[in-house]
Amino acid sequence: MNKAFVKETDSDEDEGPGQPAPLPPGTPNYMTRTGFQRLKAELDGLVKDERPKLVETIAWAASNGDRSENGDYIYGKKRLREIDRRIRFLIKRLENSTVIEPSEQPNIDQVFFGATVTLCDVEGGDEQTFQIVGVDEADAGAGRVSWIAPIARALLKAREGDVVRFQSPAGTREVEVVEIRYR
């Protein structure tokens, strides 16, 4: 296929599918030790295992001759660009991260980064528990909420028993802080 009809760029833009939202300008990239280790393990896996195997496959495919209709070669080159983009992204995030150990928080009676908070909805009485973590670690299904999320920002410095209001996608909500833990 002619390259004129294929959208490919060589830019250093590291955001794309599967990438977390960028941090607001001027804010540090806070991360828990667990999240830092998880990203480091992903980077090591890409650099030491996946990329070398893919390069070997691409070299084999290139040796087969005509590259214009060689699916292994074309797919391999595309996948290699994706891996290289992810590697650059992970290196930047890890270099610019500030690792915070939640268990070492001196002020454990207030909500700060790394806190595991149990909330009770004032109107419905439903309880939910989540941990406030870094942008790269956030996973609502696993109970991890980014520190820049509206609920986490509203809870900052709250104490047990405080009622906090915040704007959610469903509208304004009020929740009571039931428990704060650092682990």
Question: In angstroms, rounded to a whole number, what is the distance separating the alpha carbons of residues 116 and 152?
Answer: 11
Residue 72: the pLDDT is: 84
Q: Among 63, 80, 100, where does a domain finish?
A: 100
Domain range for 133 is 102-181
Of the three residues 74, 100, 126, the one that is the final residue of a domain is 100
The answer on 40 and 86 residing in a single domain is yes
Distance CA 90, CA 86 (A): 6
Q: Are residues 135 and 160 in the same domain?
A: yes
For residues 107 and 135, what is the distance between their CA atoms, to the nearest angstrom? Answer: 22
String of DSSP letters for 132-179: EE-TTT-BGGGTEEETTSHHHHHHTT-BTT-EEEEEETTEEEEEEEEE
Per-residue pLDDT of the chain (183 residues; tens, 9 = 90+): 444 444 444 444 444 445 666 777 777 889 999 999 999 999 999 999 999 999 999 998 888 877 777 888 889 999 999 999 999 999 999 998 999 998 888 888 999 999 999 999 888 778 899 999 999 999 988 999 999 999 999 999 999 999 999 888 888 889 999 999 998
Same domain, 47 and 76: yes
CATH number at residue 173: 3.10.50.30
Number of domains in the chain: 2
67-81 pLDDT tens trace: 777 888 889 999 999
What gap in Å lies between CA 79 and CA 179, rounded to an integer? 45
Structure tokens at 94: 């890890």
> Do the domain assignments include residue 24?
no
- 20 lies in a domain? no
Give the domain CATH number at 71. Answer: 1.10.287.180
Predicted confidence at residue 183, as pLDDT, reads 84
Among the three residues 100, 128, 151, which one is the final residue of a domain in this structure?
A: 100
Phi, psi of 119 (to 5 degrees): -120, 155
Q: Quote the CA–CA distance of 37 and 43 in Å, as a whole number.
A: 10
**Are 136 and 93 contacting, i.e. CB atoms less than 8 angstroms apart?**
yes
- Half-sphere exposure (Cβ direction) of 14: Cα atoms closer than 13 Å: 14
Beta bridge partners of 132: 145
DSSP H or E segment with residue 146: strand 144-146
